Structure 1
Amino acid sequence: MLNFSGEGVKAGMFVRDAKDRCPHLEIVPYNFEAYEEAVSCDEAFLDVTESEVAGPELLVSEIRKEIFETTGCTASAVIAANMLMVRLATRTDKPNGQCYISPEKVDEYLLPLLIKTLRGIGHVLEQKLKKKGVQNCGQLRMFPKEALQRDFRTKTGEMLWNYSRGVDNRLVGVIQDGR
């Protein structure tokens, strides 16, 4: 397997853009008949709050070690209190890294984080927030929940208020990736 990320080629990129950046790139056609399953298996979400292993970092290190010893593949991992924090931190732990955002470190992680990084904030909402002087989660936190709900509707306002504080009540389980 070749990695062309140094050439600026990334997953999900249009082929024409990838070829512009990397003219020697060869595109190999899919052979769907050769695959036994068409299932994505590159992510797993585990609730380890009831684990008997001494600490989540040790548990995750052991899981990553076992993955490598069994398959020869490296694995990245994020340990955080909820799905929002895990999703945000997945960008910082790759490749082959491990990131732990303890409850005490949530503010340190979130406050400087750009609002466009938050799930559910698209271009239009980002521009509306920027007009109010909001670029990051720390600035977003300055607004009372009621003001956000008034300006952006009830559900969106509550989402903005919660996410800027690292609050996400979704349970760990089967989710659909919105990337």
Structure 2
Amino acid sequence: MDAFYASVEQLDNPELRGKALAVGGSSERGVVAAASYEARKYGVKSAMSSIIAKRNCPQLIFVKPRFERYREISQRIRNIFFEYTDLVEPLSLDEAYLDVTENKKGNPSATLIAREIRQKIFEKTGLNASAGISINKFIAKIASDVNKPNGQKTVNPEEVEAFLEELEIRKFYGVGKVTAEKMYQLGIFTGKDLKTKSLDFLNEHFGKSGEHYYNVVRGIHFSEVRPSRIRKSLGAERTFDENISSEIFMLERLGHISEEIERRLSKNKVAGKTVTLKIKYSDFTLQTRSKTLSYYVSSKDLILEIAKDLLYQEKMKDSVRLLGISLSNLNTDKDKEKEEEKKEVAVQLRFEF
């Protein structure tokens, strides 16, 4: 989806259309969650400090995120995907992979399917989407950014090699700012440069990622579209309007965060064993404190109690601008099946004895 959160806000509020808009944060502090294309022209982007965003774009309008609304529209969009294939792998509320090799419409052209889906999304939601079409997830992901917004790009099998060779290395999906800088230092500026490097060279300089870079620049990526992605963690966090130093206020905020996590855990029907407390201080340094239990937790009271222990684990070094809690080591469907099997065995044993 194109600038999804910001586009939803502009859709619901006509007064915001055509204006530089940031979802999340405020003119005083916080972090931008999403920016409209009007704001992006001024260099405003997601994960940017609100203060810097406002400095880049003085007329920037900040609005609070409405995740329930975003989830509602996201589900409507996914329902459209399922009209074409059951092989849908959501990455987030605004992005998904679809395998249309065999599809419910019997359409042999992935390009035409993408165009049809984008048109249907617009008709049913009023929002624009972009698409990338190719032989695997890696190339499709890169292609989806080529003609944004409201466009699509197909990289046919015979075009893959040339497409990747001409691509700037920073546009390779998964190559972040730090990795790109390292590649520049090694004389790697394009896919063609990357392709000249041996597997041993890439392994030496990039460790386990070396083989990945060696393969993807040759169009090799074996990851299948997985309809049921296993969630590894679930959490929530809050950035405060003013830095707080009182532990009483921190516990109050953690209570609200715990309630939000309980709601999300319930909706996803999962629980977790590892609780992690995230603390961002006023000087922007980040600290995490974790505790792994021998049992799964999902209630807000237990989550808050553990978060409280982690908060008191050591003295705070400064006032705090952000607190967050996340749960990992989640119980997967297989874990649940094992638990049910144990219960069944226990019941059988009780009857037998």
Given the two structures, how large is their TM-score scaled by the length of structure 1? 0.81
Partner in structure 1 of residue 154 of structure 2: 100
Q: Which amino acid aligns with 1:42?
A: D
Partner in structure 2 of residue 46 of structure 1: 98
- Of 19, 24, 39, 1:4 maps to 39
* Distance in 2 between residues matched to 1:71 and 1:157, nearest whole Å: 42
C-alpha deviation, 1:62, in angstroms? 1.5
The 3 A distance-change label for structure 1 pair 158 and 62 is: same
Contact 1:114 1:136 (8 Å CA) reproduced: yes
C-alpha deviation, 1:5, in angstroms? 2.7
- Of 16, 37, 43, 2:51 maps to 16
Structure 1 window deviating more from structure 2 (39-48 vs 23-32): it is 23-32
- Of 66, 79, 83, 2:137 maps to 83
Partner in structure 1 of residue 209 of structure 2: 156
Partner in structure 1 of residue 219 of structure 2: 166
Q: Which amino acid aligns with 2:161?
A: D
The 3 A distance-change label for structure 1 pair 26 and 75 is: closer
Helix, strand or coil for the counterpart of 1:157? helix
Larger RCO of the pair (alpha carbons < 8 Å, separation 6+)? 1
C-alpha deviation, 1:47, in angstroms? 0.1
Identity %: 36
* Distance in 1 between residues matched to 2:124 and 2:48, nearest whole Å: 31
C-alpha deviation, 1:25, in angstroms? 2.1
Superposition RMSD on alpha carbons, in Å? Answer: 2.7
Q: Which amino acid aligns with 1:70?
A: K
Contact 1:115 1:135 (8 Å CA) reproduced: yes
Aligned length: 174
* Distance in 1 between residues matched to 2:194 and 2:220, nearest whole Å: 14
Contact 2:132 2:142 (8 Å CA) reproduced: no
Question: Runs of 5+ in structure 1 lacking a partner?
Answer: none
Higher strand share: 2
CA shift digits 1:47-100 (9 cap, x unpaired): 011132031111111112222222222221111111211221222121110111
C-alpha deviation, 1:132, in angstroms? 3.2
Structure 1 window deviating more from structure 2 (92-101 vs 130-139): it is 130-139
Question: Runs of 5+ in structure 2 lacking a partner?
Answer: 1-9, 11-18, 20-37, 75-91, 232-353
Contact 1:118 1:163 (8 Å CA) reproduced: no
C-alpha deviation, 1:169, in angstroms? 1.4
C-alpha deviation, 1:143, in angstroms? 2.0
C-alpha deviation, 1:13, in angstroms? 2.3
The answer to whether 1:131 aligns with 2:166 is no
The 3 A distance-change label for structure 1 pair 17 and 104 is: same
Contact 2:132 2:145 (8 Å CA) reproduced: no
